[in-house]
């Protein structure tokens, strides 16, 4: 709805003026001269570009008559503000009794046509005060007091006039953009630039790039010394901030030589920086407007009125552009002054009648082309649209205003000095040579308390303007932010993003990057041969994160933390161990308890049937010792389950080693007893003594003492301790017992395997003995299984980590203990419980062919 109203108002506004433009142009536009004089005791020379004469058949477009009045004259009435600013400053000074009392300032205006010959012609005419444009070098026809020349808007115009004025050390003040060439005192010792240096412009624009994350931008610059200097500044700032230049296009002096190639690769980026002055950029801006680049964000350093050039379409290429302008105080008195300006108030002004004729339907009343008829009674320049004439003082006008005050203060100081030296001159006109002003201009203070120390590097503040030109012709420049290089780091740039209007193609803040942003969890990998802003995204490595976008390196999570699945945050690892609550721990503990209970049950069976042949024949004492030891073997596995502590870590290995040593030594004693009983047909005294004294039973304490000695050395040198495993299980820190000395652990385990191997060998030798209850076969098979379990345990144990490693050791303890229990006592329990008829002496005598030796 708002857009519709704006569009209607725009159409009404345009139609208001077009009716006046279709008429034939009056002859007064040809007979009125290009220059005029405003009377004063001391005269300032003003050289401003207001209109240009075309020659040949070049024809501007006829639908924009307020710029192109006919086929040969082009007017730019926005620059008319320069004349009014000069007039406003002079009138303020002339009314000020404390500044140049009894001396009035005036000015001579000369139009600048942008050709070197005509520019120098006007400068010579002004210096000679000639009539009818006849040159008399070094001669002042009217004997007028010249003070200084105001020149602009480009450095070329100022340099051309400055070359001439330098011959006479004539003061020259430029109001156009600052140029380092004009600061060369060897060539222009009397030239003073009012504009501040653009030392902070590159920093300001790059700060805007950083704010909006624009890392891929284009540059369009003039192909001259200023363009090369600003390009160097941009490269330096962008390199520091990680911003890349997509392309650099230098504006040629002659478009015909470079026209087609210039527009190549323009679609590589959405953001393009344009730097230059109005004259340098005129052809570029016109071409951009004609091509309707409505999908670009243009960032500029000039308030160029590009929307005045053509009204073919409602859209404008520069809608949504951002403009960086020096921050000047707004002069409200100037706006009031504009409202009072009219042709009757300033009859010497040659442009006011033309403005009134064009925009307020006035007609020239006489041959002199100064009197007007049929004018609107309330006609005022502030009624004109802002894109035709602006009432707010712009940057160039502000420089003109400051320059006039600098001259006035310099004249005032020089006048005071003259009166001190020659008091009798009081009351007479001021007489001086212009070159004398140079001494006073160098250190003067202007009205806004800004020092004119021309060698000072000024870190100026910038206003950031947003161009609202939809519909085309609206031409609003809205302040949406500012930049101050003197502010603290991080507070230099201020923006009101909600006020920004972007080009119509963008529904949100435009993006401008060579590559898609790498989100959290990824890092950038630069592509070979490409700019650093062109990269690919790769996920962070294991246990590394990135919680910001576009990082070069991922950060490793600290010890005790792990990366989440998205790899954008480190989470604290939870403590874990083989607990009774875990399904695996619960299963192993249940198996251990059940087997222990079953072993105790078997002990009860053997005690109950202790007088039966099968129990007697297999050595009741050793069977009781073995069953009790197996019970402890099953129960010692519980030490490995639950949260480890130092005592538990020591008991794990010692109880396991001692219990299994007793069990294996008992089996060895059993096998040796059988071999001694059946392998010796006629036992000697020693063998008989061993059998009677039950010597094989001493094997148990002897083997146990050896194992205790190994465990003692282990505990004394490098005992087990509590350790943490942060890598085996994702997101967990496994608390487990470290074996301490690996050599000691493997020595203890090797000793057990040695006992198992010896027991197996002895049992294997007695496997075929003709005894009804001979258990050698079962003993040999149980030792073989025991040996295989622990030999297999070693590689599996070293290939697992964390809780699985602990569970593997528990499983081997249970498996080897179960093998001993099942293969040795399983067949006996079967006979005792299910085949009791075989557990009798009668059955024994039937099956036995060799008498059982008496022990």
Domain residue ranges of the chain, discontinuous segments joined by +: 522-572, 583-721+742-847
Distance, in Å, from the CA atom of 612 to the CA atom of 614, rounded to the nearest integer, reads 6
Q: Is 300 helix (H, G, I), strand (E, B) or coil?
A: strand
Distance, in Å, from the CA atom of 67 to the CA atom of 79, rounded to the nearest integer, reads 11
Backbone phi and psi for residue 102, each to the nearest 5 degrees, phi listed first: 65, 10
Q: In sequence order, which residues have a C-beta less than 8 Å from that of residue 195 and are 6 or more positions away?
A: 174, 175, 176, 177, 178, 326, 395, 399
Whats the size of the chain, residue-wise? 855
Q: Which two tokens stand for residue 80?
A: 């008319």
Q: Is 228 helix (H, G, I), strand (E, B) or coil?
A: helix
Q: Is 743:716 a contact under the CB 8 Å cutoff?
A: no
Distance, in Å, from the CA atom of 451 to the CA atom of 699, rounded to the nearest integer, reads 110
Q: In sequence order, which residues have a C-beta less than 8 Å from that of residue 411 and are 6 or more positions away?
A: 42, 100, 103, 147, 430, 437, 440
CA separation (Å) from 630 to 748, 824, 825? 18, 11, 11
Q: Which two tokens stand for residue 344?
A: 């009757």
Q: Which two tokens stand for residue 161?
A: 């006039």
Q: Is 636:663 a contact under the CB 8 Å cutoff?
A: no
Predicted local distance difference test score (pLDDT) of residue 330: 80
Q: Which two tokens stand for residue 214?
A: 């624009």
Per the DSSP assignment, residues forming a β-bridge with 151 are 47, 174
- CATH architecture, domain 583-721+742-847: Up-down Bundle (1.20)
Q: Is 663:633 a contact under the CB 8 Å cutoff?
A: yes
Handedness of CA 631, 637, 641, 646 (dihedral sign): positive
Q: Is 637 helix (H, G, I), strand (E, B) or coil?
A: helix
What angle is formed at CA 350 by the lines to CA 344 and CA 351, rounded to 5 degrees?
90
Q: In sequence order, which residues have a C-beta less than 8 Å from that of residue 581 and are 6 or more positions away?
A: none
What is the CA 364 to chain-centroid distance, rounded? Answer: 64
Of 82, 131, 132, 124, the C-alpha closest to 107 is 82
Place of tokens 């008195």: 333
Q: Which two tokens stand for residue 747?
A: 């020595």
Indicate the Cα dihedral angle 88, 89, 93, 96, nearest 10°.
60
What is the CA 686 to chain-centroid distance, rounded? Answer: 92
Q: Is 181:222 a contact under the CB 8 Å cutoff?
A: no
What angle is formed at CA 300 by the lines to CA 294 and CA 302, rounded to 5 degrees?
120
Give per-10-residue mean pLDDT for the chain (855 aa): 42 39 51 78 90 52 41 72 94 92 90 77 77 56 76 86 88 89 87 85 92 92 88 91 90 68 84 86 79 84 60 71 85 90 87 83 72 78 81 88 92 85 62 84 59 48 87 80 88 91 87 87 86 89 87 88 87 83 88 91 87 77 87 88 86 87 85 66 50 64 89 88 78 81 87 84 68 64 81 79 82 87 84 77 51 38
Predicted local distance difference test score (pLDDT) of residue 24: 41
Query: Would you tell me how many other CB atoms lie within 10 Å of the CB of residue 791?
Result: 13
Distance, in Å, from the CA atom of 430 to the CA atom of 410, rounded to the nearest integer, reads 13
Q: Which two tokens stand for residue 5?
A: 């109203």
Q: Which two tokens stand for residue 15?
A: 């139609």
Peptide bond into 489 cis (omega under 30): no
Handedness of CA 562, 565, 571, 576 (dihedral sign): negative
Distance, in Å, from the CA atom of 198 to the CA atom of 227, rounded to the nearest integer, reads 12
Q: Which two tokens stand for residue 326?
A: 């020096």
Query: Would you tell me how many other CB atoms lie within 10 Å of the CB of residue 60?
Result: 18
Handedness of CA 130, 132, 135, 136 (dihedral sign): negative
Per the DSSP assignment, residues forming a β-bridge with 323 are 300, 465
Predicted local distance difference test score (pLDDT) of residue 854: 36
Place of tokens 């072993």: 599
Of 216, 303, 199, 212, the C-alpha closest to 493 is 212
Indicate the Cα dihedral angle 59, 63, 64, 69, nearest 10°.
50
What is the CA 3 to chain-centroid distance, rounded? Answer: 36
Backbone phi and psi for residue 73, each to the nearest 5 degrees, phi listed first: -120, 130
Query: Would you tell me how many other CB atoms lie within 10 Å of the CB of residue 831?
Result: 19
Q: In sequence order, which residues have a C-beta less than 8 Å from that of residue 103 and are 6 or more positions away?
A: 41, 42, 411, 415, 429, 430
Distance, in Å, from the CA atom of 807 to the CA atom of 20, rounded to the nearest integer, reads 100
Q: Which two tokens stand for residue 116?
A: 């070197």
Distance, in Å, from the CA atom of 612 to the CA atom of 317, rounded to the nearest integer, reads 112
DSSP for 163-178, written as a single string: HHHGGGT--EEE-SS-
**CB contact burial 715-750 (16+ within 10 A = b; e otherwise):** beebbbeeeebbebbeebbbbbbbbbbeebbebbbe
From the CA atom positions of the chain, what is the Rg in Å? 53
Helices (H), 610-741: 613-617, 620-636, 646-679, 685-692, 699-717
Distance, in Å, from the CA atom of 593 to the CA atom of 68, rounded to the nearest integer, reads 106
DSSP for 727-750, written as a single string: SSSTTEEEEEEE-S-HHHHHHHHH
What is the CA 211 to chain-centroid distance, rounded? Answer: 10
**What 8-state DSSP symbol labels residue 434?**
G
- Rounded to two decimals, the pTM is 0.65
Distance, in Å, from the CA atom of 401 to the CA atom of 839, rounded to the nearest integer, reads 130
Query: Would you tell me how many other CB atoms lie within 10 Å of the CB of residue 67?
Result: 17
Distance, in Å, from the CA atom of 600 to the CA atom of 611, rounded to the nearest integer, reads 19
Q: Which two tokens stand for residue 854?
A: 């008496």
What angle is formed at CA 70 by the lines to CA 133 and CA 130, rounded to 5 degrees?
10
What angle is formed at CA 149 by the lines to CA 147 and CA 151, rounded to 5 degrees?
165
Backbone phi and psi for residue 564, each to the nearest 5 degrees, phi listed first: -70, 180
Q: Is 613:840 a contact under the CB 8 Å cutoff?
A: yes
Handedness of CA 711, 714, 719, 720 (dihedral sign): negative
What ranges make up the beta strands (E) of 646-780? Answer: 721-725, 732-738
Beta strands 42-48 and 145-151 are: parallel
Q: Which two tokens stand for residue 155?
A: 């450095």
């Amino acid at each position: 709805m708002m857009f519709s109203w704006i569009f209607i108002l725009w159409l009404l506004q345009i139609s208001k003026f077009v009716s006046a433009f279709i008429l034939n142009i009056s002859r007064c536009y040809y007979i009125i001269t290009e220059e005029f004089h405003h009377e004063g005791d001391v005269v300032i020379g003003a050289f401003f570009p207001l209109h240009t004469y075309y020659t040949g058949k070049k024809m501007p477009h006829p639908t924009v008559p307020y710029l192109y009045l006919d086929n040969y004259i082009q007017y730019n009435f926005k620059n008319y503000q320069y004349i009014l600013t000069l007039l406003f400053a002079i009138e303020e000074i002339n009314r000020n009794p404390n500044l140049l009392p009894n001396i009035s300032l005036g000015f001579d205006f000369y139009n600048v046509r942008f050709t070197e010959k005509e520019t120098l012609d006007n400068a010579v005419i002004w210096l000679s005060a000639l009539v009818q444009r006849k040159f008399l070098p070094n001669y002042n026809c009217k004997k007028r007091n010249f003070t200084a020349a105001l020149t602009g808007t480009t450095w070329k115009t100022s340099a051309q006039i400055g070359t001439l004025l330098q011959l006479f050390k004539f003061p020259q003040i430029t109001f156009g953009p600052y140029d380092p060439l004009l600061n060369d005192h060897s060539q222009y010792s009397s030239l003073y630039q009012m504009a501040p240096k653009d030392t902070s412009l590159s920093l300001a624009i790059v700060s805007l790039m950083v704010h909006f994350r624009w890392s891929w931008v284009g540059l369009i610059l003039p192909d001259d010394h200023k363009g090369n200097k600003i390009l160097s500044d941009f490269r330096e700032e962008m390199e520091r901030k990680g911003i890349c230049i997509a392309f650099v296009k230098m504006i040629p002096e002659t478009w015909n030589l470079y026209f087609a190639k210039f527009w190549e690769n323009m679609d590589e980026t959405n953001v393009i920086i344009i730097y230059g002055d109005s004259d340098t950029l005129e052809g570029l801006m016109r071409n951009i407007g004609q091509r309707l680049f409505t999908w670009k964000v243009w960032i500029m350093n000039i308030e160029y009125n590009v929307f005045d050039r053509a009204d073919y379409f409602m859209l404008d290429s520069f809608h949504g552009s951002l403009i960086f302008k020096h921050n000047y105080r707004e002069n409200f008195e100037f706006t009031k002054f504009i409202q009072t300006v009219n042709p009757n108030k300033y009859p010497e002004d040659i442009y006011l009648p033309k403005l009134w004729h064009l925009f307020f339907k006035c007609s020239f009343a006489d041959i002199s082309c100064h009197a007007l008829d049929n004018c609107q009674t309330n006609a005022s320049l502030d009624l004109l649209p802002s894109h035709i004439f602006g009432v707010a003082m712009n940057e160039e006008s502000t420089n003109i205003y400051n320059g006039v005050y600098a001259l006035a203060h310099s004249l005032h100081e020089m006048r005071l000095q003259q009166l001190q030296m020659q008091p009798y001159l009081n009351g007479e006109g001021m007489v001086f040579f212009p070159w004398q002003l140079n001494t006073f201009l160098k250190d003067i203070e202007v009205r806004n308390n800004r020092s004119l120390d021309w060698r000072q590097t000024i870190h100026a503040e910038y206003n950031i303007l947003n161009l609202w030109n939809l519909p085309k012709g609206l031409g609003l420049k809205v302040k949406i932010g500012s930049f101050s290089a003197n502010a603290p780091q991080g507070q230099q740039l201020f923006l009101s993003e909600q006020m920004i209007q972007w080009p119509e193609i963008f529904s949100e803040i435009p993006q401008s990057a060579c590559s898609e942003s790498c989100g959290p969890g990824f890092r950038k990998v630069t592509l070979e041969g490409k700019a650093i802003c062109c990269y690919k995204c790769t996920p962070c490595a294991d246990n590394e994160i990135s919680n910001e976008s576009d990082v070069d390196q991922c950060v490793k999570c600290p010890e005790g933390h792990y990366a989440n699945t998205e790899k954008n945050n480190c989470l604290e690892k939870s403590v874990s161990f083989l607990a009774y609550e875990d399904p695996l721990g619960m299963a192993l503990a249940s198996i251990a308890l059940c087997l222990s209970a079953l072993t105790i049950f078997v002990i009860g069976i053997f005690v109950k049937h202790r007088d039966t042949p099968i129990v007697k024949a297999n050595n009741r004492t050793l069977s009781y010792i073995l069953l009790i030891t197996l019970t402890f073997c099953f129960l010692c596995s519980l030490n490995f389950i639950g949260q480890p502590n130092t005592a538990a870590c020591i008991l794990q290995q010692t109880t396991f080693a001692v219990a299994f040593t007793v069990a294996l030594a008992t089996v060895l004693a059993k096998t040796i007893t059988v071999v001694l009983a059946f392998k010796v047909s006629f036992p000697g005294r020693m063998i008989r003594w061993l059998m009677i004294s039950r010597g094989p039973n001493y094997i148990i304490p002897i083997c146990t003492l050896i194992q205790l000695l190994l465990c003692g050395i282990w505990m004394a040198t490098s005992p087990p301790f509590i350790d943490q495993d942060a890598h085996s299980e994702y997101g967990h820190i496994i608390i487990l017992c470290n074996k301490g000395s690996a050599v000691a652990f493997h020595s203890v385990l090797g000793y057990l395997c040695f006992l198992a191997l010896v027991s197996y060998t002895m049992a294997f030798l007695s496997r075929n003995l003709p005894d009804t209850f001979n258990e050698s076969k079962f003993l040999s098979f149980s030792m073989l299984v025991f040996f295989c379990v622990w030999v297999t345990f070693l590689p599996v144990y070293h290939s697992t980590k964390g809780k699985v490693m602990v569970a593997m050791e528990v499983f081997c303890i249970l498996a080897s203990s179960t093998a001993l229990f099942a293969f040795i006592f399983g067949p006996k329990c079967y006979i005792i419980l299910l085949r009791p008829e075989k557990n009798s002496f009668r059955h024994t005598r039937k099956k036995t062919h060799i008498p059982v030796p008496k022990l």
